[in-house]
Amino acid sequence: MALTEEIQKRRTFAIISHPDAGKTTLTEKFLLFAGAIQSAGAVKSNKIKKTTVSDFMEIERQRGISVASAVMSFEYNNLKINLLDTPGHKDFAEDTYRTLTAVDSVILVVDGVKGVEEQTEKLMNVCRMRSTPVIVFINKLDREGGYPVDLLDELEKKLDISVCPLSWPISRGSDFKGVYSLHRKKLMLFQPNKADEDAGIEIPSLSDPLLDTYVGGHNAAKLREDAQLIEGVYGSFNKEEYLEGIQAPVFFGSALNNFGVRELLDTFTEIAPPPKARQADTREVQPQEEKFSGFVFKIHANLDLRHRDRIAFFRVCSGMFERNKFYKHVRLDTDLRFNNPASFMGQKKEVIDEAFPGDVIGLYDRGNFKIGDTLTEGEKMNYQGIPSFSPEVFRELINTSSKAKQLEKGISQLTDEGVAQLFLMDQGRRKIVGTVGLLQFDVILYRLANEYGADCRFEQLNIHKACWVTSKDPKKLEEFCRDMADRIANDKNGNPVFFSESEWMLNYHIKKYDSIDFHFTSEFKK
């Protein structure tokens, strides 16, 4: 099959949400519809299996949270769909942020009872940075929650995006009757715990008395009133605005009860974009180019403790990847080939011979990769848009054994994987570790001790925020770093970073040093 045809067959997306909004349940129902799994609970049990590969993951399992992005590929409606299920817990948000760099669109799950939550807002900020197309699924309509119109207003206000309902609920909670597809002109009646969804009842006009027959006169009148309001306030669906990340279509349902899921999946396959062009540091790369290229967005170490293996999760961006062919590792300026590249089909990992733009594959890594690394067929370029975000918790790493070299190697490799960020002070003598959550420090301590034989501890620091600093005037930047010497560190790439002990002090310095630019992600131009 021609490269262009392979590209058009692929849809690569992530499901994101605040914890407990129903993301993993929705993922499971997608896989059930596609035939990738055969029974409910398979996704959840698969994740539990992953969390027991080593003792430190026991912490995460006990807390009942997903901790790593899972890649699942399946076929549906004659398309190959690459689904990246992401952690919802804020302590593992950095993994989700990086995963969003590897997808072409997103489905955002919102709890219909709790509405838009903090983590949802942060994830949407990342989507807006890249103008990623977003579809919203408002879940748990079978529970007593907010009014649909209020939820839409909250979505627009908190997520700063225009919304357009493509389905609409008929009542909610214990009186929930179902949804009417404004997009397909069909009525879907709610039946709790039904294994599959009906194709729906075609009702091309809401004025049709058939509607009253199925949902009752009161509910039919309310639906007609709501539909008129929706059309007047939100207008009609504009696919171009969706693809540009301006408008988000909205669906309602109950993932647990398998309701509204097929309508969501069918519409996703209809409107979601195929693999898109990607920006490199030298040019924009089109997926249909003959020359292969792609980038690493995640590294997972010790999936198999017997072999101490590391898997680099790799997004193919252009051309065709071939097994056992040599490719240029741009950062190392060397050629590598891969004997056992893997794809992830549901729960199974299997060796592949080829992959195309949009595909996410696993490359066995012997320590050659860092997050953001690019592979090409010889061209010297690096893909952009894989930033590190300013951590929220900071600790100083203190060596408590004689194994300084092992500690140095361990913390360097772990931060290469994106477990945390490393900042160096006093010419590298002091190591400051920054994470987005406290749980990561327990993970790091365990792994340093058990994988590298390096015992250490963390000391708490009074740091509120870390900002990368730049200036158009090199002398001004040098002067600032000299004045703030006790608050300046370097990241692993040698970029200066400013530590502020409070929000007030940060704002004070931003105003005082107006020639200095303060950045909250590492994605900036020097």
246 plus 312 within the same structural domain: no
- Residue 365's pLDDT band (boundaries 50, 70, 90)? confident
CATH number of the domain within which 448 lies:
3.30.70.3280
Q: Which of 91-105, 191-205, 412-426 has the highest mean predicted lDDT (pLDDT)?
A: 412-426
CATH number of the domain within which 297 lies:
2.40.30.10
Percent of the chain with pLDDT over 90: 52
321 plus 434 within the same structural domain: no
Q: Which residues pair with 168 in a beta bridge?
A: 180
Question: Does residue 2 fall inside a structural domain?
Answer: no
154 plus 245 within the same structural domain: yes
Question: Does residue 1 fall inside a structural domain?
Answer: no
Question: Does residue 233 fall inside a structural domain?
Answer: yes
For residue range 135-181, list pLDDT tens digits in order.
Answer: 999 999 888 888 899 999 999 999 999 999 999 999 888 888 889 99
Question: Does residue 216 fall inside a structural domain?
Answer: yes
57 plus 169 within the same structural domain: yes
239 plus 318 within the same structural domain: no
Q: What is the mean pLDDT of residues 341-362?
A: 83
- Which domain does 340 fall in, by range? 278-376
CATH number of the domain within which 251 lies:
3.40.50.300
Q: What is the mean pLDDT of residues 376-405?
A: 88
In 3D space, the residue among 433, 388, 395 whose CA is nearest the CA of residue 414 turns out to be 433
53 plus 23 within the same structural domain: yes
Q: Residue 92: what pLDDT?
A: 58
- Residue 93's pLDDT band (boundaries 50, 70, 90)? low
186 plus 205 within the same structural domain: yes
For residue range 42-64, list pLDDT tens digits in order.
Answer: 444 444 344 332 233 444 444 44
Question: Does residue 525 fall inside a structural domain?
Answer: no
One-character DSSP codes across 16-82: EESTTSSHHHHHHHHHHHHTS-SSTTHHHHHHHHHTTSSTTHHHHHHHT---S-EEEEEEETTEEEE
Q: Residue 403: what pLDDT?
A: 87
214 plus 169 within the same structural domain: yes
Rounded Cα distance, 163 and 223, in Å: 18
- Yes or no: say if 89 and 65 are a contact pair by the CB < 8 Å rule: yes
Domain boundary among 271, 294, 321: 271
**Number of domains the chain is built from:** 3
136 plus 31 within the same structural domain: yes
Q: What is the mean pLDDT of residues 374-390?
A: 87
Beta-sheet strands, E only, within 302-347: 310-318, 321-322, 327-329, 334-336, 342-345
- Yes or no: say if 112 and 138 are a contact pair by the CB < 8 Å rule: yes
38 plus 119 within the same structural domain: yes
For residue range 421-447, list pLDDT tens digits in order.
Answer: 999 998 888 999 998 778 889 888 988
Q: Residue 354: what pLDDT?
A: 95
Question: Does residue 106 fall inside a structural domain?
Answer: yes
- Residue 345's pLDDT band (boundaries 50, 70, 90)? low
Question: Does residue 526 fall inside a structural domain?
Answer: no
Question: Does residue 236 fall inside a structural domain?
Answer: yes
